[in-house]
């Protein structure tokens, strides 16, 4: 991973975070600072690099109440080298934190799935932290369509 690419990714993470500013219509949303803070709390000083982790999420969620997501990290899972944890953040939810998975070498593979709530259309960010402190990230935009009919 060369420096240029790292910087680019750092910029794009910042942009993604800042992008919510323009949309901030309601006070129940997390602020971009909240997301940045949550990211820093998880990743420390490390700059997240794109790749290695894959986040799977629907392009369109029929209802923001139940959005299936999965993560998978391409990494060995040995005592020497393994994925410690993966956190999921949702930029435009009331609070950005969603869930943090903690793996061990006994996990065999760093894969996990759950279902989450999304207040509106937004970016979902997955961040993986390896036992050597390196950090990787992936982002998906999920469009939330909330049906207004039929109760």
Here the tokens at position 63 are 């209802």
Minimum CB–partner distance for residue 117 and another protein (Å): 5
Strands 135-144 and 122-130 turn out to be antiparallel
Contact segment (CB under 8 A) with another protein among 3-11, 46-54, 89-97, 132-140 equals: 89-97
Residues in contact with ligand HEC by the rule CB under 6 A: 149-150
Q: Return the one option of ligand HEC, another protein, none that residue 5 interacts with (CB less than 5 to 8 A, by type).
A: none
Residue nearer to another protein on the CB measure, 22 or 148: 148
DSSP-based three-state secondary structure for 107: helix
Quick note: the x/- pattern for another protein over 109-148, rule CB under 8 A, is x-xxxxxxxx--------------------------xxxx
Counting contacts by CB under 8 A, is residue 22 touching another protein?
no
Q: Are 98 and 43 in contact (CB under 8 A)?
A: no
Other beta carbons within 10 angstroms of residue 58's beta carbon come to 13
Residue 128 β-bridge partners:
86, 136
Distance of alpha carbon 13 from alpha carbon 41, whole angstroms: 15
In angstroms, give the least distance from the CB of 56 to another protein: 10
Taking phi first (over 0 means left), then psi (-120 to 50 degrees means alpha), and beta for anything else, what does residue 53 get?
beta
> What are the residues binding another protein (CB under 8 A)?
28, 58, 60-63, 65-68, 70, 77, 90, 93-95, 97-109, 111-118, 145-151
């Amino acid at each position: 991973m060369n420096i240029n690419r790292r910087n680019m990714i750092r910029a794009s993470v910042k942009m993604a975070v800042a992008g919510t500013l323009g949309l901030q219509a309601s006070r129940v949303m997390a602020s971009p600072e909240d997301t940045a803070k949550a990211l820093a709390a998880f990743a420390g000083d490390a700059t997240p690099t794109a790749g290695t982790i894959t986040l799977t999420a629907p392009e369109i969620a029929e209802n923001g109440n139940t959005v299936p997501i999965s993560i998978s990290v391409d990494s060995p899972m040995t005592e020497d080298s393994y994925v410690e944890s993966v956190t999921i953040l949702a930029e435009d939810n009331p609070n950005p934190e969603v869930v943090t998975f903690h793996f061990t070498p006994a996990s065999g593979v760093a894969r996990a799935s759950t279902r989450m709530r999304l207040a509106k259309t937004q970016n979902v960010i997955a961040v993986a932290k390896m036992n050597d402190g390196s950090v990787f990230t992936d982002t998906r935009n999920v469009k939330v369509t909330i049906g207004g009919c039929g109760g």
